[in-house]
Amino acid sequence: MRSLWNDVQAEQCHDELDRRVYSSRLLGQHPDLVLHGGGNTSVKIKEKNLLGEEQTLLYVKGSGSDLIDITRAGFAPVQLEHLLKLAKLPSLSDPQMVNELKTHVTVSGAPTPSVEAILHAILPYTYVDHSHADAVITLTNTPGGLQRIKEIYGEAVVIIPYVMPGFDLARLCAQLFFEQCKPTTQGMILLNHGIFSFGETARESYERMIQLVTRAEQYLQKNQAWDLDLPKSVPAAETLRLPLAQLRQRLSAVTAMPMILRHTHTPLVEKFLQHPLLAQISQQGPATPDHVIRTKRVPMLGQDIDTYIADYQRYFKQHNATAREPKIMLDPAPRVILDPQLGLCSLGKTSQDAQVVQEIFSHTLEIILRATQLEKYQALPARDIFDVEYWDLEQAKLRAAGKPKLFAGEVALVTGAASGIGKACVESLLARGASVIGMDLNPVVATQYQRADYCGVVGDVCVREQIQHALETGVRRFGGLDILILNAGIFPAAQPIAEMDASVWQKTLDINLTANLVLLQESYSLLKLAPRHGRVVVIGSKNVAAPGPGASAYSASKAALNQLVRVTALEWGKDKIRVNSVHPDAVFDTGIWTEEILQARAQAYGMTVEQYKQRNVMGVDITSHDVAELVVEMCGPLFAKTTAAQIPVDGGDLRVI
């Protein structure tokens, strides 16, 4: 592990808090130190208040920030003196502690201070850094962990036995730290939890973290427990989209809401699946208790959901019986699935959640394999994990996420997603919490959004294999398909029927009609498995009801598509799949309306371009966004009992009315 400290960047920091932000971000850049909200940092700064009185504030990471992109506002300034007095109390309940933390922050609107704030307060150093470093928890999750830590670090660290985070841990640390601290002490190891480093400057504290963790890594290397001898490749997977969608449907039934199921199968996953002790090493528990709220205590091995649920219920019942106050059981679905056929799958209410679970568990796989190679992986007893899983303060973090969005956990495929109405549909879907597979010929589709809930696939809707590829890619990322938006289409240059070019005619039918038939065929088995039932919306056209001269290929293809949609609605009603269409007109911010085509169409009606654009009865502009909002709402509860509907979005067309 190398220090990322950069003097040039560090010199741009104006004050201590800036330096705290800078080195916290450095810490966040090491995924083997901190992952997603894990870890926390602080700095103690003397300041004068409005009355000119000097006080020392502990700027400690607040909840809701990740170290990798934390800002000044991500730190909560708490009155240090008060925290030090609290640390002397014989006991303090969690709600009392949170109340004291919140009421002794000096800036209104500051985030809630980390529950480890009192621990940061008692350590007598300006800077304090805390991480759940992989290498350190690899060592402490072995039967001989304590001895190994003593051997590696000697007096460089104070060792704290495992205690649940919160007030009791802070008190124990205060006691042991002052008993054991030597002038050479640079950090503190919390068995089965993580590591603290500290120093007088941001650099000293950060680099001590790097050095201490490096010593743990070197120890693993020296003991042949670092290199994992991963396989060069993983078995070439056949198509997985149907088994994935089936599994997702069953898991969504357990949580009573649609869930995202994210698939991955790396050499690390394969190595783990091939391990002779797989059944044992996979069921020990998380590497640090904090992970339990993301990954649950243990993954599901194979696909026997009923057994997993029964085991979870037993675990809950057993530990709830002796809990301080009765708890309400969380949904018993696994968050990680390890299966020889499906590799590693992670489950989440959103794609972001599923991605976080996957990343955390990939680190867990490495930790378990290394600990096993060194000696034996031994996590904390289930009781300790239960206490963190059902800790009010952890549950509060989950509740803070608020009410799920309209399409949270649902997956949509949009064709022609790189521009116009298709792109607008992608945005309206993302805004309502859906995860979106965007398909388009234009390579831009692959990179237009960099986010966990978007998957762009370059492909031609006229080629069945490319549709299959898009579905396979998307379902591996999100687990299924709930919503299909058939949007891709062309509007060829005007040609009178007498002069119609056969290839133009055929191409128009291929894209506007036949491709949609194939998309429907290929999506059917997936839509049938949608937890809230499948929905299809087809972008039709005003031309269905009011065709235009010179536009025979376009009008005929859209009219045939309209009939296809109606038959689909008839056939798929028994599967509760709703199939509706919208008929937009005069949406001029789309790819098909080039200046040339605009002029040609205006001419066909004997109008100027300006007249042609505003010829609807309301005299309004219709944008791609307007169409997209209608399309997306038609997939929601408002239209729950509507199928085979055709809704215009055209400002009112005289010829249609």
Residues that bind Zn ion (CB under 5 A): 194
Query: Least distance to Zn ion from the beta carbon of 385, Å?
Result: 14
Residue count of the chain: 657
Helix then strand count (H, E) for the chain reads 26, 18
Query: Least distance to Zn ion from the beta carbon of 586, Å?
Result: 58
Distance CA 137, CA 284 (A): 14
Of 194 and 285, nearer to Zn ion (C-beta) is 194
First to last CA, the chain: 71
Q: How far is CA 265 from CA 35, 229, 528, 537, in A?
A: 20, 16, 26, 33
Query: Least distance to Zn ion from the beta carbon of 35, Å?
Result: 12
Of 194 and 550, nearer to Zn ion (C-beta) is 194
Of 76 and 244, nearer to Zn ion (C-beta) is 76
Under 8 Å between Cβ of 170 and 188: no
Tokens of 390: 């059902």
Place of tokens 């205690």: 163
Q: How far is CA 294 from CA 34, 398, 418, in A?
A: 14, 10, 34
**Residue 188: half-sphere exposure toward Cβ, Cα within 13 Å:** 29
Of 392 and 575, nearer to Zn ion (C-beta) is 392
Of 35 and 556, nearer to Zn ion (C-beta) is 35
Query: Least distance to Zn ion from the beta carbon of 288, Å?
Result: 7
Query: Least distance to Zn ion from the beta carbon of 198, Å?
Result: 15
DSSP 244: H
Nearest residue to Zn ion by CB is 194
Of 194 and 534, nearer to Zn ion (C-beta) is 194
Query: Least distance to Zn ion from the beta carbon of 144, Å?
Result: 23
Of 118 and 413, nearer to Zn ion (C-beta) is 118
Tokens of 470: 């898009």
Of 36 and 265, nearer to Zn ion (C-beta) is 36
Place of tokens 């209410």: 349
Query: Least distance to Zn ion from the beta carbon of 68, Å?
Result: 16
Q: How far is CA 313 from CA 4, 24, 331, 350, in A?
A: 45, 39, 10, 24
Distance CA 572, CA 150 (A): 67
Three-class secondary structure of residue 447 per DSSP: helix
Choose among 200, 158, 154: nearest CA to 20: 200
Measured CA angle at 508 (ends 504, 509), to 5 deg: 120
Of 194 and 422, nearer to Zn ion (C-beta) is 194
345 forms beta bridges with 263, 337
Distance CA 576, CA 253 (A): 16
Query: Least distance to Zn ion from the beta carbon of 289, Å?
Result: 9
Sheet holding 435-440, edge to edge: 454-458, 435-440, 411-415, 483-486, 535-539, 578-584, 646-649
Query: Least distance to Zn ion from the beta carbon of 58, Å?
Result: 17
Query: Least distance to Zn ion from the beta carbon of 164, Å?
Result: 11
Of 34 and 527, nearer to Zn ion (C-beta) is 34
